[in-house]
Amino acid sequence: MSMFYVNRNMIAALPSASLLVFLLFGMISTVRPLKPKYDEPIKLELVEMPAPVPAPVSPKTEARLEAAAPQRPQPPLPPQPPKQVQPEPAHALQPPTPASPIATPAPALQAPAAAAEPASPLKPPEPAPVVAAKPNADGEYIARIRSYLNSIKRYPSGREASQLRPEGTVKIWFVLRRDGSLVDCGIEQSSNSTLLDEAARKTVSRASFPGFPEQFTADQETHRFSVDLQFRPAN
């Protein structure tokens, strides 16, 4: 009795559990697999429809349609062959009618020529005035500058100059103002000797140049000169 008493709850639940199991087996047995149901194929057939019969059109309607329709351009006519021109019969040449003589006018009477006037005696030509040639002030001033520099130039001194004894010509350029003051100077053509080139620079630097003449480069405040200075050692 102790086992039934302990398991009384499970024993009380047996009828319910057995009923539930019975219902589940019954439902499973009643379920059937569903088979897919396909529709029957449909046959399509092409049926030719009769062509529509156009309605009759009255003559007035046709005339209106023709008038409203755009006119088509007419094709060009083929070119016609040129007509052959028959030559006309040549007429008999008629002799030209003689031209009527034209009366030539009589020459007008010329008046007697006037008496020739006596020719005046020829006068001797007057001598052309002698224009005194103006002295070339520009050339004289440049020659004056050149001779002045050659007069004050000095051959380089020193041990090196006495040993080498260089000789040559230095072409030096310099710029002067109108009052004769020096602006700048430089070597235009070297003598291939630094001693002679330096002597030429010293010559221009210590020179006292005269002012420009009035007509010498009147439109310029400065002028550039070039002078050749020749150096030779003393014998």
| CB neighbour list of residue 229: distance below 8 Å, 6 or more residues apart | 149, 150, 153, 169, 170, 171, 172, 200, 203
CATH of 138-231, one of 3.40.50.720, 3.30.1150.10, 3.40.710.10, 3.40.1280.10: 3.30.1150.10
CA dihedral 141, 156, 189, 194 (to 10 degrees): -160
CA dihedral 179, 181, 183, 186 (to 10 degrees): 120
Mean pLDDT, 10 residues at a time, the chain of 235 residues: 69 80 76 62 71 72 75 68 62 51 51 50 56 61 92 91 92 94 94 93 93 87 93 86
- What is the per-residue pLDDT across 91-136, written as a single tens digit (0 to 9) for each? 444 555 555 445 555 555 454 444 455 555 555 556 555 444 445 6
| Per-residue pLDDT tens digits for 72-102 | 666 667 777 666 666 655 544 455 555 544 5
- Determine whether 161 is exposed, middle or buried from the number of CB atoms within 10 Å of its CB (0-12, 13-18, 19+): middle
Read off the amino acid at residue 186.
G
What integer pLDDT is reported at residue 134 of this predicted model?
A: 46
| Tally of residues, the chain | 235
The domain spans of the chain are 138-231
pLDDT (0 to 100) of residue 73:
64
pLDDT of residue 188: 94
- C-alpha–C-alpha distance, residues 166 and 169, integer Å: 10
